[in-house]
Structure 1
């Protein structure tokens, strides 16, 4: 998921969907925006990882409120089912392109554009669109199976 922009109803819908789908990890590609959103994300029944976005101005407040879940930063990398992931909000296209082409990662997740985009290059690039639905009118998340990298777009 990405770009939830304080839309509490959309966040609740996403959390409810993830919990009902028994996902094991939720990744947020930035623009949580306000620290008060942590309360909703703490309802997840799984691990949660996120990065800062360009609209996350109150970074110390976000770090404080999300500290029970993880430490927020601008970039994260980790491994799931022997697949290497990189997550960056994606405000600089050159950085996103470099991550995809580096051959270091199997999956690169980004946000920022509010546009759903999934494409396979040297890595699988996933932009889950916008959870908030403010620009496109569509609240989207993407489910990914880390075993075979199959995916499904979900409209909330």
Structure 2
């Protein structure tokens, strides 16, 4: 199992809740689709009992500080490719819809993971596009993540 999250925006209580859920569910990988915001958030993600992959979001202004704080967890970049259980995932924050759509239509990926809109959305197609919504809850009022089985691509949107 794997966890998918985005847009944590420094909300330490929400990050803690997500980490606890992922640890309780024994996920093996957590993908974060950007907007970590501050380096101090790395301490909470270090409590994960899973591999962690993340990308930068549009609000991640302190990139060098984030790279330093997260260096023991992952390498932060704007885009990541991840292979899990013979599935190929593209991970991007998703500010440009044309880029998200191009990744989804490229035929290169089984799943495109994105964030940015703060709205949970799962689009089933030849390529599955997953936006887990926002962990922070600042825009929608809801704190959400997705848990996915990478073998079957079955998924569940979970409200924290």
CA displacement at 1:86 relative to structure 2? 0.2
Residue 61 of structure 1 is matched in structure 2 by 65
Confirm or deny that 1:118 pairs with 2:122.
Answer: yes
Distance 1:114 1:51 in 2: 16
| Aligned pairs (5 A) from 1:90-105 | 90-105=94-109
Q: Runs of 4 or more off by more than 4 Å in structure 1?
A: none
Distance 2:82 2:152 in 1: 17
| Aligned pairs (5 A) from 1:4-153 | 4-153=8-157
Distance 1:22 1:81 in 2: 16
Distance 2:140 2:108 in 1: 32
Q: Cα deviations across residues 119-150 of structure 1 (Å, max 9, x unaligned)? A: 11220000000000001110000001001100
Unaligned runs of 5+ in 2: none
Instruction: Report the secondary structure of 2:22's partner residue.
Output: helix
Q: Cα deviations across residues 3-38 of structure 1 (Å, max 9, x unaligned)? A: 000000000000000001100000000000000000
CA displacement at 1:59 relative to structure 2? 0.2
Distance 1:106 1:46 in 2: 21
Q: Cα deviations across residues 92-132 of structure 1 (Å, max 9, x unaligned)? A: 00000000000100000000000000011220000000000
TM-score by length of 1: 0.99
Q: CA RMSD in A?
A: 0.4
Aligned residues: 156
Distance 1:41 1:70 in 2: 11
Contact 1:101 1:121 (C-alpha < 8 Å) held by counterparts: no
